[in-house]
Chain A
Amino acid sequence: MDNALTPLNREVSPLSNHALADLVACPQCDTLHRLVLVAAGQKARCRRCHSVLMSPHASAMTKIVMLALTATVLMIAAITFPFLTLEARGLTQRNSVIDAILAFSSGLMLPLSLAIAGLIVVLPLMRLAAILYVLAPMAIGWAPAKGAMRAFRFAQVLKPWAMAEIFIVGVAVALVKVAGLAILTIGPAFWAFTALVLVTVLNDNFMCRLTIWRTLEARRPHL
């Protein structure tokens, strides 16, 4: 495991861009490593800053595609089923996630409601779509789809902005805050959302960026 990535010595002779494909530079600290096969289930870390460079998993592509499909179904369930039901003094109110988002949709608050819709529904869905677009053809052994590189880069950029898990914690806090005012019941959409978060975490765990990039490059049809 340790010798999978060996630090290079100072005497690097001028190499062509093609030969340089066997090297990897740590994205965090720029240290060069010579790339050797890393076994599935193992992690290769940078010698200098200890960031994980590679963590390949057995049949990762298939697993990621299955999990991304599951996550998409869960997201659709989460936005269509009732999310929370509120009761106070004989009045009952059912809310879907969409209702929660549209709360701000008047006047000045409209940009905020759009931003929240983006962070908890739109961006996670776009990220799932991008991942499926890139990895579904790869999982069945095809060449990458047109624009797959751009789509995967897009998925990478989106990652910090998809905030479904933070929203779930927000729901928990809101439940406590509202406890004195009304009775709150959790609907099926809440559980779909929670499951979505768990599936996303599992999915990200299987995602070894470097391995996917290298596979994309290797299977790319010649330009």
Chain B
Amino acid sequence: MAHSGGSQTPPLTARAAGLVACPTCGRVHQAQTVHCLRCGQVLASRDGTSMQRVWAWLVAGFMAYIPANLYPMLETTTLGKTQSNTLLGGVIELVLHHSYGVAAIVFFASIVIPIGKFVAISYLALQVQRPDRNSVHLKHRMLEVVEFIGRWSMIDVFVVALLSSLVQLGSVVSVQPGIAAISFALSVVFTMLSAMSFDSRLIWDTDTKDSETA
């Protein structure tokens, strides 16, 4: 890409030009336009309630994640004996069975991604008020990664669903889903909603590198 000279002209945002852009289809309108003329989306230069919704969903997601770790995800009954597994317990069991690759996938999806999301979204939300000269690209990348990777936490919920439907062999062995399956699923959904509520244009608004010349 030819970047020569590109940095001399500071980028002009739709808002700075007195316009309002549609985040769904990219169409640009006069500032007072209410509905997008191309796709019908309700327009707002910046989503004013964005940060409120980000925090609300994030807190909800965190609250749901606590019982998800404490209560059993899965209850396995083998010849009359019942054994229950928590989120982390399932990972440990896989390690004990020497399924290291699968253990790594589940550990990543159920522990690393959710906790990483809580940290990353809180960090971005706290930083959104502060002017920033250098790390705007990095923050935007962070939000993109969080949005992209968050849905993959659902793996363990699907595993529980599959196991409890597959392993129903009467008295020999049967598997029941635990209550943590619900709270974990809710936690994933809430944090996905939190990341989606984040208006990434707010991150770019903190970029002072461009506005210095204005």
User: Which 4 pairs across A and B sit closest by C-beta, in order of nearness?
Assistant: A170-B158, A25-B21, A103-B165, A213-B25
Segment touching A, from B54-62, B64-72, B122-130, B167-175: B167-175
* Interface residue A60 (Cβ < 8 Å from any Cβ of B): no
Q: Which residues of A contact B51 (CB under 8 A)?
A: none
6 contacts between A and B (CB under 8 A): A21-B38, A32-B21, A101-B161, A163-B158, A170-B157, A213-B27
* Interface residue B111 (Cβ < 8 Å from any Cβ of A): no
CB distance from A35 to the nearest CB of B (A): 9
Name A156's contact: one of B1, B24, B26, B30 (CB within 8 Å).
B24
Check B167 against A178 for contact (C-beta < 8 Å).
yes
Segment touching B, from A64-72, A81-89, A125-133: A81-89
Check B162 against A174 for contact (C-beta < 8 Å).
yes
CB distance from B12 to the nearest CB of A (A): 5
Q: Which residues of B contact A113 (CB under 8 A)?
A: 161
Check A20 against B28 for contact (C-beta < 8 Å).
yes
* CB-CB under 8 A for A95 and B165, given A108-B179, A173-B105: yes
Segment touching B, from A1-9, A135-143, A197-205: A1-9
Check A169 against B19 for contact (C-beta < 8 Å).
no
Q: Which residues of A contact B37 (CB under 8 A)?
A: 17, 21, 217
* Interface residue A167 (Cβ < 8 Å from any Cβ of B): yes
Instruction: Indicate with 1 or 0, residue by residue over A75-105, a CB within 8 angstroms of chain B CB atoms.
Output: 0000000001010110101010001111110
Check A153 against B40 for contact (C-beta < 8 Å).
yes
* Interface residue A63 (Cβ < 8 Å from any Cβ of B): no
How many residues of A sit at the interface, in one of the four size bands? Answer: 35 or more
CB distance from A137 to the nearest CB of B (A): 17
Q: Which residues of B contact A1 (CB under 8 A)?
A: 1
Residues of B12-40 contacting chain A, CB below 8 A? 12-15, 17-19, 21-30, 33, 37-40
Q: Which residues of B contact A217 (CB under 8 A)?
A: 27, 37-38
How far apart sit A111 and B99, CA to CA, in the bound complex (Å)? 31
How far apart sit A12 and B14, CA to CA, in the bound complex (Å)? 11
Check A169 against B105 for contact (C-beta < 8 Å).
yes
Check B6 against A7 for contact (C-beta < 8 Å).
yes
Q: Which residues of B contact A178 (CB under 8 A)?
A: 163, 166-167
Check B155 against A28 for contact (C-beta < 8 Å).
no
* Interface residue A37 (Cβ < 8 Å from any Cβ of B): no
* Interface residue B87 (Cβ < 8 Å from any Cβ of A): no
Name B25's contact: one of A86, A88, A209 (CB within 8 Å).
A209
CB-based nearest B residue for A87: B169
Q: Which residues of A contact B21 (CB under 8 A)?
A: 25, 27, 30, 32
Q: Which residues of A contact B118 (CB under 8 A)?
A: none
Name B29's contact: one of A17, A115, A176 (CB within 8 Å).
A17
* Interface residue A171 (Cβ < 8 Å from any Cβ of B): yes
* CB-CB under 8 A for A166 and B39, given A32-B19, A181-B173: no
Q: Which residues of A contact B80 (CB under 8 A)?
A: none
How far apart sit A102 and B2, CA to CA, in the bound complex (Å)? 55
* Interface residue A36 (Cβ < 8 Å from any Cβ of B): no
Residues of B164-188 contacting chain A, CB below 8 A? 164-170, 172-173, 177, 179, 181-182, 185
CB distance from A176 to the nearest CB of B (A): 5
CB-based nearest B residue for A22: B28
Q: Which residues of B contact A161 (CB under 8 A)?
A: 151
How far apart sit A149 and B97, CA to CA, in the bound complex (Å)? 52
* CB-CB under 8 A for A171 and B162, given A30-B14, A176-B102: yes
* CB-CB under 8 A for A20 and B29, given A28-B200, A30-B21, A166-B158: yes
* Interface residue B135 (Cβ < 8 Å from any Cβ of A): no
